Amino acid sequence: MSEQWTVSEPQKITFGEPVRRVKIRTIAGAVNVVAGEAPARLEVSELDGAPLQVTVDDGELLITYEDLQWKDFQWKALSHWIEGWRQKRRAVVSLVVPAGVEVEIGAASSDTVVSGIAGKVRTNTASGDVTLVRVSGPVDANTVSGAVEAHGTSGGLKINTVSGALTVFAGTSGALKANSVSGAMTVDLDRPAAADVELTNVSGEVAVRIPAPADTQVRADTTSGSISSSFDQLQVSSTWGAKRITGTLGSGSNRLKITTVSGSVAVLRRPDEDEGPQDTVPSSAETATPHDSTPLAIDHQKGADEA
């Protein structure tokens, strides 16, 4: 059974059919997807320009514009053509869905929040920020200039940015792989530490804080960036054209690999809470700080708890 709505003004919709997959395509505004109890519910609180098309068919919920398709959100090409469309339309979309749904979001100049979702999450964005809150499913996030923030995520993370910053707070993901050209990376790993962390950057600064005591094999390489470590067990070496941190912490059951060209690298110790003040990022990596974005009007914690 298929149901369809044309949304041309602010509107709320409650879906009678169970939703298992969500696909959203928007230009400018905001997208909020939060886990909650069934039935799935949609609120379009702001809408300018062309109407949104909303369809539910065989468990798949699609929210988009009539002239947008997923191929239009291949993230590396987004910035070339999106500016013209941004002037013509804007939508603020908030969606409550069961935690186990799969989520796919294509957004340009839209800030995106995904909270409490346990299914697969994929986002392709241009200049909008992406915030992930207590997401336990695997994440594939791609952005051009928007920042990516992950708070308490436990699923695998795969992140690609051009100039957007990456910040991971209290991450317990089984795997984290991130690539950037110039975006700063700040990664704070909680216990249990991620089993496999691989961070690659060209000129962006990279700072990683791992729990102490740790069980991690560490290798960090940079060509011309500064390099530092707060672990006595790790060896810091420097030769012409290469600087490196290597060593094994504890049993070495986890892996941390960092590679940059000119970006500075810092490997920091994350102490237990009862050990007092925590390490701070050295001056060489001070710019690798959480992105200061304006919070969206959504209760992240409430949505995650409902999941």
Indicate whether 129 belongs to any domain: no
Indicate whether 158 belongs to any domain: yes
Task: Identify whether residues 106 and 189 lie together within a single domain.
Answer: no
The pair phi, psi for residue 23, each rounded to 5°, is -130, 125
Indicate whether 297 belongs to any domain: no
Domain end position, chosen among 85, 120, 155:
120
Name residues whose C-beta falls within 8 Å of residue 71's C-beta, 6 or more positions apart in sequence: none
Q: Looking at the 3D structure of the chain, how many domains does it have?
A: 2
Determine the pLDDT at residue 272: 65
Domain extent, residue 60, equals 1-120
Task: Give yes or no for a contact between 45 and 92, defined as CB atoms under 8 angstroms apart.
Answer: yes
Indicate whether 194 belongs to any domain: yes
Indicate whether 220 belongs to any domain: yes
Task: Identify whether residues 252 and 152 lie together within a single domain.
Answer: yes
Strand ranges (DSSP E) for 195-264?
196-201, 206-211, 216-222, 227-229, 235-239, 242-249, 254-260
Determine the pLDDT at residue 215: 86
Indicate whether 303 belongs to any domain: no
Task: Identify whether residues 72 and 152 lie together within a single domain.
Answer: no
* C-alpha closest to that of 186 among 168, 162, 210, 161: 168
Rounded average pLDDT per 10-residue block, the chain, 307 residues = 91 95 93 95 94 95 82 53 62 96 92 96 91 96 92 92 91 87 92 77 94 88 94 91 92 92 93 52 34 36 41
Q: Is the peptide bond before 213 cis (omega within 30 degrees of 0)?
A: yes
Strand ranges (DSSP E) for 134-286?
139-143, 148-151, 157-161, 166-171, 175-180, 185-189, 196-201, 206-211, 216-222, 227-229, 235-239, 242-249, 254-260, 265-270
The pair phi, psi for residue 70, each rounded to 5°, is -60, -35
Task: Identify whether residues 275 and 175 lie together within a single domain.
Answer: yes
Indicate whether 139 belongs to any domain: no
User: Looking up tokens 């991450």, which residue turns up?
Assistant: 171
Partners of residue 207 on adjacent β-strands: 186, 266
Task: Identify whether residues 114 and 157 lie together within a single domain.
Answer: no
Task: Identify whether residues 74 and 195 lie together within a single domain.
Answer: no
Task: Identify whether residues 89 and 160 lie together within a single domain.
Answer: no
Determine the pLDDT at residue 35: 97
Q: Give the Cα separation of 206 and 185 in Å (integer).
A: 5
Determine the pLDDT at residue 123: 95
Determine the pLDDT at residue 225: 94
Q: Any idea how long the chain is? A: 307
Task: Identify whether residues 160 and 279 lie together within a single domain.
Answer: yes
Task: Identify whether residues 162 and 279 lie together within a single domain.
Answer: yes
Determine the pLDDT at residue 295: 33
Task: Identify whether residues 102 and 3 lie together within a single domain.
Answer: yes
